[in-house]
Amino acid sequence: MTAIVIGVGLPLGMLLIMFIFRLFAARTIGWVLLCMAWGALGYEAAILLNTRLGNLGIDNKILSILLTPLLLQILIALGVLFVVSRRQSDNLVDGAVYGFAAGLGFAILDNVEFALGNADQALANALLRSFSSTLVLATASGIVGVSMTQFHFRHRANRVAILLSGLGAAVGYNSLYNLLAQRAIGGEILPVAFGIGGITLVGLYLAGQLRTILNQLGIEKKRADSLLDIVIPIGVQLSTEKNFGNLLENMLVEAKKFCSADAGTLYLAREKHLEFAVLRNDTLRIAMGGSSPVDITLPDLHLYDDAGTPNHHNIATYAALTGKTINIEDAYETKDFDFSGTRAFDRTNGYQSISFLTIPLKGNEGKVLGVLQLINALNSKREIIPFDKNLQLLMESFSSLATAALEGYIQEQKLRNEIQQLRIEIDAVKRSQQVEEITNSDYFKNLQEKAKSFRDQPEKKTDD
């Protein structure tokens, strides 16, 4: 009876410790208990499957060492996925707790069955076995919980690899423990040490992930401060610029500086094409357009082909046509856009255009006025790196301010032109009124009559 109490009390005690240390809150107790129940259900499913497979002649050692851990972790993965998807929590600690809880639910029934089947064992051995088994099952399931949380919420290309590696690590860890326990390798102490070592590694992994998250939060705060201290003042500065060429140049130069980009291009949208307005490349020392005396000789980019089909092959025209921001990590690896022109430029100039951040400049009504394209983000060692996804959000805020300045300048120039045209029209009306006043005056009429009388007088004849 004491062994059963220990077998049940150890998992519940671990759960209580997690609650005391605030690894989960009171509002999530229901979800934690649900995961425990799911783990207990996994135990019953494993027993049922083992019985049926055993009847088919499969060795019990294979079942306990390999198939039971595999089935258990797959079931736990499905349970954790259900919980995190319903709660919409992307916290790795939450995922680990749900996994731990499921493993503890399995451990309770496993410990009870072991105690009932080994009633003659010494209490110390039963205690050590329950302790090590509980640690291992909780740790393996915690690994699966973390992996499933990352799989569900980390939208990246290697999410499947994360899932498979997490499942593989959990199954392998559980299977190795079962092998040690079955063959009594290292007596009762080695399995306990194995369990302690496993949960310690998981704790270190979570600590490392939390450290990464804290570092990322620090970076985000710094960038948020940059939005207030750098981006907004730049937007104000742009809004006061009166020279159109300088305005366009400052938009590109400030964006390059903020993103530590080596090169960049600013396009202006015309009716059916994109016109190069400003081009800068620090490495190649190229400065065209803007305040530079060097004109841009590159041909415009057509938004449509001869048949009227939108040009979605070029990254800049795609951004202009769709109004979407495009972030390319490596232009030489992507198949999404045609970079043949860029590669030809690279070959000619001995350059490498790798990372691209292309942002449409959209006005208040959603109309694209131009495209801002940055090339080759650089780190502190002047090495080419991808443009950070979070930095992209700040640049979209910058582009909104820059577009507002551009739109304001265009509206101001349009208003100036309208005023000038109105002045011309007013001057023309004034001149016509003045002419009419002169022609209708008595003085002008007398002059007309005198001129007419002079024309009507007969010419005097002269003698030869």
Q: Note the pLDDT of residue 464.
A: 47
CB 319 within 8 A of CB 359: yes
CA 374/CA 327 separation, integer angstroms: 10
Mean pLDDT, all residues of the chain? 80
pLDDT at residue 258, rounded to an integer: 83
> What are the CA-CA distances from residue 372 to residues 279, 381, 385, 413 (Å)?
10, 25, 19, 22
Per-residue pLDDT tens digits for 320-375? 999 999 999 999 988 889 998 899 999 999 999 999 999 998 877 778 888 999 99
Higher pLDDT, 60 or 240: 60
Residue pair 317/358 in contact (Cβ under 8 Å)? The answer is no
Please give the backbone phi and psi of residue 33, each rounded to the nearest 5 degrees, phi first: -65, -35
Average pLDDT over residues 213-217: 68
H helix or E strand, kind and range, residue 288? strand 286-289
Q: Can you give the C-alpha Rg of the chain in angstroms?
A: 39
Q: Are 147 and 162 in contact (CB under 8 A)?
A: yes
Indicate the pLDDT class of residue 117, thresholds 50, 70 and 90.
confident
| pLDDT tens for each residue of 244-258 | 777 788 888 888 988
Domain boundaries, the chain: 2-219, 244-396
Provide the pLDDT for residue 133.
81
- Asked if 336 and 314 count as a contact pair (C-beta separation under 8 A), the reply is no
Q: Dump pLDDT digits (tens) for 383-409.
A: 999 998 877 877 887 777 777 767 766
Q: 244-396, what's its fold?
A: Beta-Lactamase (3.30.450)
The yes-or-no verdict on residue 223 having pLDDT over 70 is no
**pLDDT value, residue 158:** 72
Given a cut of 80, is residue 128 above it in pLDDT? no
d(CA 309, CA 318): 12
Residue 157 pLDDT > 60, yes or no?
A: no
| Comparison of pLDDT for 315 and 8, the residue scoring more | 315
End-to-end CA distance of the chain: 163
Report how far residue 400's alpha carbon sits from residue 362's, in angstroms, rounded to the nearest whole number: 7
- Percentage with pLDDT > 90 across the chain: 19
